[in-house]
Structure 1
Amino acid sequence: MKILILKLGYSETLDPEMGKIVSLGDVVRCTVILEALKNKYKDANITWLISQEAFPLIVDNPHINRILIWDEFVPFALMREQFDMVVNLEKIHGVCALADMIQAWEKVGFRFDVLSGDYSAYEKSKSATSYIAQKASGEIQHKIWQQVLVEMVGCEWRGQEYSLGYSPTTKERVQVGLNYQVGSKWPTKAMKNEKWDALAKMLENNNISYSYQQGMQNLYDYMDWISGCDVLVSHDSLGAHLALAMKKSVIILFGATTGEEIYYYNRGISIYPKVKKVAYECLPCYNPTCIKNIHCMDFIDLDDILDNVKGFLKDRND
């Protein structure tokens, strides 16, 4: 079974967003389909087309037989190669058109709509486009992303794990990692630095070792840093998904987005701002720009974070 996965990271798979900035966290989330495909197709030979920026996230992955890095020549070669199955998890129109032109017996994920010039979905994946549209309009309860992705490619959801190929080198071990930065796509996900500093002081007062986020200029260094943390406190970002992939305990802070879409594998918890719904009816807004005078993330309760940190550390020591 020869399978091609198209996932470069230029669009959030199950959100309306599309752009030129690679969403690294979304690439990690999509690795959940690898275990599902390998279990369904025992002889699966998987090729993954990836962006240069996201390559470290799938390098040496045991489920992937071949990695292709996107350039101006690769699409022409793929259009001449035969596959049994194409899995397109990119909504970018050009990639959808490429998926349509690749020779394969079966196709799932997104396709190009020749009438509208927009993305659509192959028949088996139409539930994904319905989910995106309903979620954008606020008409649907949020579903677990991992489950939607697994079912989108025609497999059964069984709690499949994220899959990371790189083996991190732990350079410093601490009890808590403070993953305080966010990507440029979603500045509204961030809790202000003053609150992170206050949290660090609380950890120090409780004799809990911690480290601020490191390695952001190099993905390998970043993964090495996460590997040295017992518990990661993070915004809704790449680090949170990497920590889950490494089977770390994770505390994720939410405001503009929601944790209802994340399956934690019994290793994590979501923390939300303590605000009155009537005053912050916009939550979750999925908007990179905040319309409120006081940002929702200013209402994150640091005591909640500390209590959960202690709980996770206790579980690790028992």
Structure 2
Amino acid sequence: MLIIHLGAMGSVVRSSALLRKIKSEDSSSFVIWLTSSSVKSILEGHSAIDRLITLDFEGLLKLKNYFFDRVFVVDKSQEAVGVLGFLKYNELYGFVANPKNGAILPASKESEEIWELGIDNHKKFFVNKKSELQLIFESFGFTYQREDYWIELTSSEIKSSKLRKEAWLKMNHKKIILGINTGCSHIIPYKKLTVEKHLDLIKEISQNFPYLQIVLLGGREDLERNNAIKNSIKDVIQSDNLSGLRDGMISVNACDIVISGDSLGMHLGIAFKKFTIAWFGPTCEQEIDLFDLGVKIKTTLDCAPCWKRSCSQEKMCYDHVELEHFIKAVEKGISFFEPTRDRLLESNI
């Protein structure tokens, strides 16, 4: 069978839960995952993926060698559905394109609900109560039983996580690692707090929980932001922003608690079973399942959610997220975590 999911990164991490369902129904199933080159490293070496193929000319040639029992198209994009013209398959789930105008359409009756949410903001924002994972599973004809994410680290990466955590704890003689993912995708830039808001948050956390070691998480695009925060608060540790996605995954796995907007950092926190504190502004909190291992914090702004890529509001989503809610969430995370402080980092598998 073939899974077509090209991006975004956080969404691909979430869709890894499909592998649990597929393998639970047929452990011998041969699974090919088609994705984009920018996302490929997240899934490399996964034990449940038999072939990981990137969307390029060579990748399309490789796909022509197979006949697929089932094809699952996760992305609602012309690139993803355009691949179907190169394939031989029996059953199709997810999305197709209207051959007359290229419009994305549901491939089957099961996919109609998730498709409708993409064109009806009222249903998406206020009526729907299902998580995105449940919607995806049901659109593919699966019964959703809260299968969680399935992202794997190699044995050497797990070892690196342990060593990194030990080094971070020793730096300032702390007890628990709290990672703050400071950035998000450029597509919806309002899913991250401002530098100033991060500074206020870190100061509040440090005053209330002096035994926590705060680590700044993020990618290359977050380097300037993290430098500004680090230069203002010396006891904060800045993780490596320049060593690539897999190294960033190691850093997230070295944390005990993760604070993040609705972004890749949040999804990795969920995947690695960290106590995840996720704040939501322009996006829909009901679409995310923390699997009883975290807290959601919502903006109080009336116009949220909106999913807008640009905004002219004088006061933004992040201006209406209360710091006291973060403090209460961190306290809950600590109370959850402390009885099992010595659990192994391998729990992410």
TM-score bracket, shorter-length normalisation: 0.7 to 0.9
Partner amino acid, structure 2, of 1:317: E
Q: Which moved more, 1:220-229 or 1:201-210?
A: 201-210
TM-score (norm 2): 0.81
Q: Contact (CA 8 Å) 2:6, 2:80: kept in 1 or not?
A: no
Question: 1:132 aligns to what?
Answer: 118
Q: CA deviation at 1:232?
A: 0.4
- Hey, what's the Cα distance between the residues in 1 that align with 2:200 and 2:113? 44
Partner amino acid, structure 2, of 1:157: Y
Aligned residues: 298
Question: 2:330 aligns to what?
Answer: 309
Q: CA deviation at 1:139?
A: 6.5
Q: Contact (CA 8 Å) 2:35, 2:54: kept in 1 or not?
A: yes
Question: 1:258 aligns to what?
Answer: 284
Q: Contact (CA 8 Å) 1:143, 1:260: kept in 2 or not?
A: yes
Question: 1:105 aligns to what?
Answer: 90
Structure in which a larger fraction of residues adopt helix: 2
Q: Contact (CA 8 Å) 1:251, 1:269: kept in 2 or not?
A: yes
Q: 1:143 aligns with which of 119, 122, 130?
A: 130
Q: How does 1:43-54 map to 2 (within 5 A)?
A: 43-54=28-39
Partner amino acid, structure 2, of 1:156: T
Per the alignment, do residues 93 and 226 of structure 1 end up closer, same or farther by CA in structure 2, a change over 3 Å counting?
A: same
- Hey, what's the Cα distance between the residues in 2 that align with 1:85 and 1:75? 17
Per the alignment, do residues 136 and 95 of structure 1 end up closer, same or farther by CA in structure 2, a change over 3 Å counting?
A: farther
The answer on 1:227 being equivalent to 2:253 is yes
Q: How does 1:61-80 map to 2 (within 5 A)?
A: 61-80=46-65
Q: Contact (CA 8 Å) 2:262, 2:279: kept in 1 or not?
A: yes
Q: How does 1:126-275 map to 2 (within 5 A)?
A: 126-135=112-121, 140-167=127-154, 168=157, 169-170=160-161, 171-172=164-165, 173=168, 174-205=176-207, 206-207=209-210, 208-213=212-217, 214-217=239-242, 218-275=244-301
Q: Give 5+ residue unaligned stretches, structure 2.
A: 169-175, 218-238, 340-349
Q: CA deviation at 1:89?
A: 1.4
Q: Which moved more, 1:163-172 or 1:182-191?
A: 163-172
Q: Deviations over 1:47-94 (max 9, x none)?
A: 011111111211121211111122123223423521111111122224
Partner amino acid, structure 1, of 2:293: R
2:127 aligns to what SS in structure 1? coil
C-alpha root-mean-square deviation of aligned residues, in Å? Answer: 1.8
- Hey, what's the Cα distance between the residues in 2 that align with 1:37 and 1:131? 25
1:209 aligns to what SS in structure 2? strand
Q: Contact (CA 8 Å) 2:5, 2:80: kept in 1 or not?
A: no
Q: Deviations over 1:133-184 (max 9, x none)?
A: 2246657324201111111221110110101122343113552111111111
Q: CA deviation at 1:125?
A: 2.0
Q: Give 5+ residue unaligned stretches, structure 1.
A: 10-22
Q: Deviations over 1:237-296 (max 9, x none)?
A: 001001110000000111111211111111111112244xxxx3x210101212211112
- Hey, what's the Cα distance between the residues in 2 that align with 1:265 and 1:187? 26
Q: 1:30 aligns with which of 15, 40, 45?
A: 15
- Hey, what's the Cα distance between the residues in 2 that align with 1:143 and 1:51? 27
Partner amino acid, structure 2, of 1:122: A
- Hey, what's the Cα distance between the residues in 2 that align with 1:48 and 1:184? 25
- Hey, what's the Cα distance between the residues in 1 that align with 2:309 and 2:122? 14
Q: Contact (CA 8 Å) 2:148, 2:271: kept in 1 or not?
A: yes
Percent identical: 23
- Hey, what's the Cα distance between the residues in 1 that align with 2:82 and 2:285? 32
TM-score (norm 1): 0.88
The answer on 1:7 being equivalent to 2:5 is yes
- Hey, what's the Cα distance between the residues in 2 that align with 1:50 and 1:287? 25
The answer on 1:118 being equivalent to 2:122 is no
Q: CA deviation at 1:101?
A: 4.1
